Amino acid sequence: MKTESTDANTSDQGLITLAHGAGGRVMRQLIESICVEAFNNPALALLEDQARLDMAEIAAHGDRLAFTTDSYVVDPLEFPGGDIGTLAVNGTVNDLAVSGARPLYLSCALILEEGLEISRLRRIMASMSDAAGVAGVSIVTGDTKVVPRGKGDGMFINTSGIGVIPQGVELAASRCQPGDCVIVNGTLGDHGAAILQARGDLALEADLVSDCQPLHGLIARMLAVCPQVHALRDATRGGVAGVVYEFAEASGRAIRLFEDQLPVRPSVRGVCEILGLDALHFANEGKLVAVVPREAADSMVAVMREHPAGRDACIIGEVLDGPAGSVQISTLMGGVRLLDLPIGEQLPRIC
């Protein structure tokens, strides 16, 4: 592997130029000295145009391949609790995990803006590598493009992911049944609030940290102990409100949330009150919503609380027969109102 660190084009003092995306020697040096080194694994080191993965090894994990993709365009690129790299790993790992899949392989495609500091790229690739290590996935294939100044925003990352769903695991939004309990694994809105603060949009000084974390370990534990989970989804853009609406619509049922049961950090609650926003609509990057039969709910919560990613797990609602597709919230005042589904953005570029 070449690490011509004396070359100004790839040294940490340098900036990304259009040449870094043009398919020549400069691009090769950048990729080899930063990405291949950070993500160190045999498939990537071959530098072929595609990773080649042993089928028998993959098929040993289950009977269905899970395949997902997400582009990350978060602003700012670095924030308390993570950066665009940790987000790109954990977000895609979680999109696999909520199908019950064991996440195995990720791709990493970079769109860099001319002028990006190479030191920043190196830092973010290192945190992607760390996050992949924690999540137990390998980044096995990649791509780098560079766009001129003013045609991008520092960097965008796409990760696609491959995982395998074990036989017998059947999770689907459409499976929610009347009487089921709605469970979350912890506090709501931490990521959205942290991004808002990191952008400098808030005048207050609050202790806001993104909850960015992989959820597949928690989910594997949940399914091992209580395989009766009906539906599972991570609550990112659109927040928990978005997920429960999807559950209600896909199942043709109604969902009622209990306002007094919603776990929200005081600092996040403060942000919401000042801005007139609802933590149910705030993005999360390490939170899931699970729908489980009522009889399994208490033991599920107990199991989740034993896992670091589920310490604040609790029941926040229940599935009702109808009206189909509606979400109600029983308020602290004892009333019941319909929960708003956001039409558009509360906060763009959250992930």
Q: Going residue by residue from 83 to 102, which x/- string records binding to a second copy, judged by CB under 8 A?
A: ------------xx-xx-x-
Instruction: Please state, in angstroms and rounded to a whole number, the distance separating the CA atoms of residues 284 and 195.
Output: 10
Instruction: Please state, in angstroms and rounded to a whole number, the distance separating the CA atoms of residues 97 and 183.
Output: 16
Query: Judging by beta carbons within 10 Å of its beta carbon (0-12, 13-18, 19+), is residue 61 exposed, middle or buried?
Result: middle
Among 15, 126, 250, 275, binds a second copy (CB under 8 A): 250
Among 4, 11, 18, 136, binds a second copy (CB under 8 A): 18
CB of 316 to a second copy, least distance (A): 19
CB of 63 to a second copy, least distance (A): 5
Residue type, 22: A
Specify whether the CB–CB gap between 77 and 124 falls below 8 A. yes
220 CB-side CA count, 13 A: 16
Among 110, 128, 226, 264, binds a second copy (CB under 8 A): 110
CB of 332 to a second copy, least distance (A): 25
CB of 73 to a second copy, least distance (A): 5
Q: Which stretch binds a second copy (CB under 8 A): 161-169, 201-209, 272-280, 315-323?
A: 161-169
Residues 287-346 that bind a second copy (CB under 8 A): 341-346
Residue bearing tokens 């931490």? 190
Of 25, 45, 48, nearest in space to 35 by CA:
45
Structure tokens at 193: 């609030």
CB of 205 to a second copy, least distance (A): 27
Among 34, 111, 218, 296, binds a second copy (CB under 8 A): 111
Residue bearing tokens 């803006």? 113
Structure tokens at 188: 């709501």
Residues 187-216 that bind a second copy (CB under 8 A): none
